[in-house]
Amino acid sequence: MKIVYVELDRCIACLSCQQACQMQQAAKGNGDHAGIYVNVDMDRRQIFTGTCLQCETPRCMEVCPIDALTRDAATGAIVVAKDLCFGCGLCVDACPFGYMRLDDDIFKAVKCDLCNGNPVCVQVCMAEALHFGNIEQLSQKKRQHPGLRLGLRALPKTEDSDL
Amino acid sequence: MNAVTTIENGVVKTLCRMCSNRCSIAVHIQQGHMQDVTPLSGNPINRGRMCPRGKASLDVFYHSDRIRKPLKRQPDGSFVEISREQALDEIAQKMLDIKDCWGARSLGMWKGEAVGFLQQEEYPRRFAHAFGTPNYFSNDSACFNGRFLGHHLVTGFWNPFPYYAEADLILLFGTNPPVCHPPFMAEFADAKAHGANLVVIDPRLNPVACYADIFAQPLPGTDGALAWGLIRYLVNAGEYDHTTVEQYSLGFEAVVEYAQKFTPEFVENETGVFAHVVVDIARLIIQNRPKVSFYMGAGLEHHDNGVDNIRAMVVLSCLTGGLDIACGLGWPENMPRNKLTLYDQLPLETEKPIGADLFPALYDIRKECHSMTAMEYMLGKGEYPLKGLIITGANPAVTNPNTTKVEEALKSLDLLVVNDLFMTQTARLAHYVLPAASFLERSEIHIDPKHQRVYLTNKVVDVPGIKDEYMLWHDLALRLGFGERYFPWENETQVNAYILEPSGITLEELKTHPEGIQYSPLTFQKHLSRPLPTPSGKLEFSSAYLEKLGYAAIPKYVRPYHLRHRSKAYPLLLTTGARKTLFYHSRHQNLKNFRKLHPEAKVEIHPEDAAKLGIENGDQVRIVSDIGELTVAANIVHKAELRRGVVEMYHGWEEWRINFTTFDQVNDPISGFPLLKGVPVRIEKV
């Protein structure tokens, strides 16, 4: 099973993934929402980017009253059947990560569909923060750069520094 | 569109030219129709990725607004389609008329970024000299040349792109690399992964600053003071590269002496960056030298003191010991190649190139005329009149400062020819508009000095009736009588072969390597074995060349225009040109997908400034400067995003031209660059 994984340490919030996804979704008639979100918190100066994890036990799929959400046999992505979905929004409430949205223009649930196995967000991630691969490979990736995560890059201290 | 792809089905590998970064791409073709563009791996620049701009290449190619036939303006201002033969015949005749009446130098050639560099730049340079005029203009007079001169005057070369991944400290000044140089991002992330620090200095907080260890927000145009403050700290602490200074540089004593007044407190007072932050940055440099990367963006050059600010930064970079190391000031080896320019065979210095008297270094080093002064010549205020212009892939009616004057000047011409893909603001003023070929319709050579690689782009598609850049100059030259002598090649491919001849690399080899070929191995520390390419052969902290031209020998800090001319009438500072992810200068605004994400122009303003003026988000406001005004919507940004008192607006909007308010006559004394990033303005609610 392949998913899109965000290596947060590498994301510089260029917004390319979100913009390219939004254009791709619009071209497919899936409304105006991207399936990947880049969040820049200006107060904390933090960047958070995330997208659907295509969960093994997908809450969204479980709560859908009309089985409009199914797992695509070829890609393993959870996809919305546009002709069935009537926009009740239960899946939006059920997703524990917030990666399911309702599009106001088409009144349907929208989400990452892994672009038939060649996600455009990954193609346009020039920071190489997004990876498309199987979960085992990606968990290896996550264990890389431990030094960075342990905060080994300290700034030199000055007496009156309040940085 | 009647387009014929070079293959019916399959993939053509080439380089993207939606911007200037040279990413390798694959164009997928099905039944003669281009379907998709995907990134290619193997090219160290894009490493198997690309950006959304490149993804939209086909939207540009197939755009319904593309100019397909030559257009001629009628007396009533409308355009009618004419044949290419007729257009070129008439243009050639008018050029000869101007030459007979006013002399060849009354015609100019102007190349824009949209066309490209290397041969695309050398065609008009060659054509101009073959015709007899020294007047070659380009987009470089408002982007790139300032930084080129700033580096070149100290080191004798400029390689804009260090190997960031190998640095322990990266300092970015006035730039937003994720947007203007997307390939840098992976290198920053690689550097961070091995623990490098990142320092971002910019009046505007771009998301890359969230990624930084130190972010400082100086007043626009004061970077020189900061550079001198850092120099002072390093030299007083004795923490500089002694070998570089003692064996390979000139003017260190003068630098030490001049630096003394730039105490952290002085720098704070001048730049608005806290003294302790200046000290922190200096200590970071000391801790990490020599593995320090400096990158100065266009933010530094668009000032009336830009070149000297950049020179001071380069001096600082040399002091860290960064001369010709991978992550420092790399000295690129050039590929041996045939140049198309005629500066040796047909020099025209005596013909008074426009602006060469005012900005001698610009003409001497870059062989480039000054496009702001050209407007004066067009309006009859120069030493001789400029009566005709051939513009290709440039849009000065949007991107040059003082739009009112630019329009007036362009309208006054006897002959204005514009070669472009779309009906730009500049094309609308033309007598003749010619359909240009997009990058997918061209085959050209690119050189990447950082990786020392050479690339050949493969032609993907042909549109009957639309000719590439070479054929434009070639066909005009034939009509003007110097075609056989100076444009003897039948097509672009023959030119490519000629350019490559001395390199030992053949076109066939390049064709089979869409990811490029390294033309010479990377070597560093070359200054140990041969003199630097400066007049003295050493690093010129103090430049005898500039001194002879009447400038200060060392890059002394001059307070920027806005600090010298404070006025109650214009209390705010306008900086223009923070890049947008999807647009490229004035290009791509007509793509529906892109436009949805950037629907209209907005001036960014600090919430406190907005509150003082009673402005709410989305209100229409008037930006007024000493020379013009513009009405746009206000975008109140987060309080950290801009320095208080600074407003920012994108420079490339076709409908909302901020250059109505920017000055064309306040120029950097060395490069002649216009002041685009520190214009005193006031903002009024409409």
Contact B324/B241 with Cβ under 8 angstroms? no
Return all residues near B366 (Cβ < 8 A) that are at least 6 apart.
B140, B145, B148, B149
Close Cβ partners of B77 (under 8 Å, ≥ 6 residues apart)? none
Half-sphere exposure at residue B432, Cβ-oriented, CA atoms within 13 angstroms: 27
Say yes or no: B259 and B402 in one domain.
no
Interface of B with A in 320-359 (CB under 8 A): none
At A163, the pLDDT band (50, 70, 90 cuts) reads very low
Instruction: State the angle between helix axes of B145-155 and B306-319 in degrees (0 to 180), rounded to the nearest 10.
Output: 40
Residue B449 inside a domain? The answer is: no
Residue B96 and residue B173 in one domain? no
CB atoms B196 and A153 under 8 Å: yes
Same domain, B307 and B187: yes
Asked if the structure places residue B195 within a domain, the reply is: yes
Q: What is the pLDDT of residue A149?
A: 53
∠B294-B363-B407 over CA atoms, to 5°?
95
A15: left (phi over 0), alpha (psi -120 to 50) or beta: left
- Based on the fold, state whether residues B298 and B384 are members of the same structural domain: no
Whether A23 contacts chain B with CB within 8 A:
yes
Q: Is the dihedral of CA B599, B601, B605, B609 positive or negative?
A: negative
Nearest by CB to B208, which of A12, A32, A122?
Answer: A12
Alpha-carbon distance of B64 to B81, in angstroms, equals 16
- Residue B538 has phi, psi (to 5 degrees) of -125, 170
Q: Does domain A2-149 have CATH number 3.30.70.20?
A: yes
Same domain, yes or no: B189 and B276: yes
Which residues constitute the domain of residue B429? 71-139+343-442+469-491
Are the C-beta atoms of B259 and B231 separated by less than 8 Å? yes
Q: Based on the fold, state whether residues B211 and B291 are members of the same structural domain.
A: yes
With beta carbons under 8 A apart, name residues in chain A contacting B640. 42-43, 45
On the question of pLDDT at B312 being above 60, the answer is yes
Do residues B216 and B260 both lie within one domain?
A: yes
Indicate yes or no: CB of A155 within 8 angstroms of CB of B197: yes
Domain stops at, among B298, B330, B362: B330
Q: What phi, psi does B591 have (nearest 5°)?
A: -85, 125
- Does A12 touch chain B if contact means CB atoms closer than 8 Å? yes
pLDDT tier, B554 (very low <50, low <70, confident <90, very high otherwise): very high
CA distance B484 to B442: 22
Same domain, B39 and B85: no
State residue A116's pLDDT score: 93
From the list B51, B56, B284, the residue facing A126 with the nearest CB is B51
Based on the fold, state whether residues B167 and B231 are members of the same structural domain.
yes
Q: Does B635 touch chain A (CB under 8 A)?
A: no
Chain B residues in contact with A160 by the CB 8 A cut-off are: 276
- The pLDDT of residue A160: 45
**pLDDT tens per residue, range B381-398:** 999 999 999 999 999 999
The pTM assigned to this predicted structure is: 0.94
**Which residue in the set A12, A124, A161 is minimally distant from B188, CB to CB?**
A12
Contacts 24+ apart (CB under 8 A), B549-555: B549/B360, B549/B361, B551/B669, B551/B670, B552/B308, B553/B251, B553/B254, B554/B251, B554/B254, B554/B255, B554/B258, B555/B224, B555/B307, B555/B308, B555/B309, B555/B310, B555/B311, B555/B312, B555/B315
Query: What does B657-680 look like in DSSP terms, one character per residue?
Result: -GGGSS-SSSB-TTT--B--S-EE
Same domain? B175 vs B267? yes
**What are the Cα distances from residue B134, in Å, to B139, B415, B482?**
17, 17, 16
Task: Examine the domain organization and report whether B132 and B188 are in the same domain.
Answer: no
Measure the CA–CA gap between B432 and B94, rounded to whole angstroms: 11
Longest dimension (CA), chain A: 64
User: To probe the interface with B, which of A9, A14, A159 has the most B CB atoms within 10 Å?
Assistant: A14
Q: What is the pLDDT of residue A137?
A: 85
Is the ipTM here above 0.90? yes
Report if residue B145 sits inside a domain. Answer: no
pLDDT tens-digit profile of B225-283?
A: 999 999 999 999 999 999 999 999 999 999 999 999 999 999 999 999 999 999 999 99
pLDDT band at B61 (very low <50, low <70, confident <90, very high): very high
- Contacts for B235-238: CB closer than 8 Å, 24+ residues apart: B235/B259, B235/B319, B237/B282, B237/B286
B275-302 mean pLDDT: 97
**Pair of tokens at residue A27:** 């071209």
Q: Residue B582: beta bridge partners?
A: none
Domain chopping of chain A, boundaries: 2-149
Q: What was the pLDDT predicted at A144?
A: 66
Residue B462 lies in a domain: no
The reported pLDDT for the residue numbered B160 is 81
- CA–CA separation, A6 and A27 (whole Å): 24
**Number of domains forming the structure of chain B:** 4
Domain CATH code at residue B87: 3.40.50.740
Window 42-71 of A: residues touching B by CB (8 A cutoff) are 42-43, 45-47
Instruction: For residue B254, give both structure tokens.
Output: 């003068």
Distance to chain A for B28, nearest Cα, Å:
14
**To the nearest whole angstrom, how far is the Cα of A29 from the nearest Cα of chain B?**
13
Residues B169 and B315 in one domain: yes
**Do you know the residue count of chain A?**
163
Q: Whose CA is closest to A20, among A93, A126, A124? A: A124
User: Does the pLDDT of residue B656 top 60, yes or no?
Assistant: yes
